[in-house]
Amino acid sequence: MLRDVVEGYGKLTKRDLRVLRLIEVGHRRYEYVPEELVVDWARYRKEEVVQSIKRLHYYGFLRRNVAPYRGWKITTHGYDVLALHTLVQRRKILSLSPTPVGVGKESVVYAGVTPSGFKVALKFHRGGVSVFRYERPFLRKVSKYRHLAEVFETRLSALAEYFALSKVFEAGGWVPEPIAYNRHVVLMSYVEGVELYRSEEDMRKIADDVVHTISTALRIGIIHGDLSPYNIIVGDRGYVIDWPQWVPTRHPKAEYYLRRDLATISAFFKKWGVEIPVEELLLAVGKSGDSGKQFLSEIYKQDFL
Ligand SMILES: Nc1ncnc2c1ncn2[C@@H]1O[C@H](COP(=O)(O)OP(=O)(O)OP(=O)(O)O)[C@@H](O)[C@H]1O
Ligand SMILES: [Mg+2]
């Protein structure tokens, strides 16, 4: 499917992309942006705008509505194109793999290359999983733009993941290096390796890396929230991936999530005869920082449009 997005993106002209961006701005006021208005806003002749809209529709980047007026709405793939275009323009990415390297419930992940030849993973968020979607600053934004609730949720998920990756990476945990974030997409370094459940590496060594990352994250106030052998990639080290659902240690249900993470991971390593210091990690919560508050103020700053 994203194959079509990459292919389609390659065929779009500058004008098509501008028209798509205009419709995105139009979504501030309309669920279906009136075609008349798009024509008014664009600095092109009417026929040119209509032709661009047709092409965008043909590639599956727009959905049409005919009554009570002719209007257009951007599809998930349309947003993919806008995010991809922004990252290409900012020279964060040069090309993408034709097929995904990972398809999950909440995302699609592609491998790619930056202009300097660095291998990256590009994660397109498909669902809203952040605990911050129940927070007031976020709910206030959504209440103003109800028709964009889903779009906002995927954007919040991507922002939440980018925030956690940045903080944990800076603090020295074993996570992919975050490179950029735009709309509902996160760009990070590509981890060469296999998921832990398929790995045959020295389990003691991997467990040490995972415990190091969990305790580093806890120290700055972050609990992963979906830790499992599927979300650990074993390459030169054991890397913890997939952070959009992270939970702040000051969250009322923090201990529940941390216990669940630790139970899953210690059950896995136990099968290999490796123990995880569960009690010690649980104690760390009391002494942790508060990334939750900081993240909320980041949400305040984002306009999500
Ligand atoms: N940085 C990365 N480097 C290499 N491969 C990655 C990277 N990030 C993700 N992947 C691949 O993509 C797959 C899916 O990524 P991830 O676990 O982040 O999302 P997800 O599983 O879709 O999320 P969810 O668990 O909510 O469904 C991973 O299992 C992995 O194979
Ligand atoms: Mg996953």
Pairing of strands 194-195, 232-234: antiparallel
Query: Max CA-CA distance within the chain?
Result: 70
Residue 161 in contact with ligand 1 by CB distance below 6 A:
no
Strand partners, 124: 108, 185
241 lines ligand 1 (CB under 6 A): yes
Give, in order, the Cα–Cα distances in Å from 113 to each of 26, 78, 90, 119, 120: 32, 22, 14, 5, 6
Domains of the chain: 2-78 (1.10.10.10), 194-291 (1.10.510.10)
Of the listed ligands, the closest to the CA of 197 is 1
pLDDT digits (tens, 9 = 90+) for 104-150: 889 999 999 999 999 999 999 999 999 999 999 999 999 999 999 99
Q: Is the pLDDT of residue 255 over 60?
A: yes
Using 50, 70 and 90 to split pLDDT, how confident is the model at 3? low
d(CA 181, CA 185): 6
pLDDT above 90: percentage of residues in the chain: 90
Catalytic residue among 80, 209, 226, 261: 226
What average pLDDT does range 147-173 have in this prediction?
97
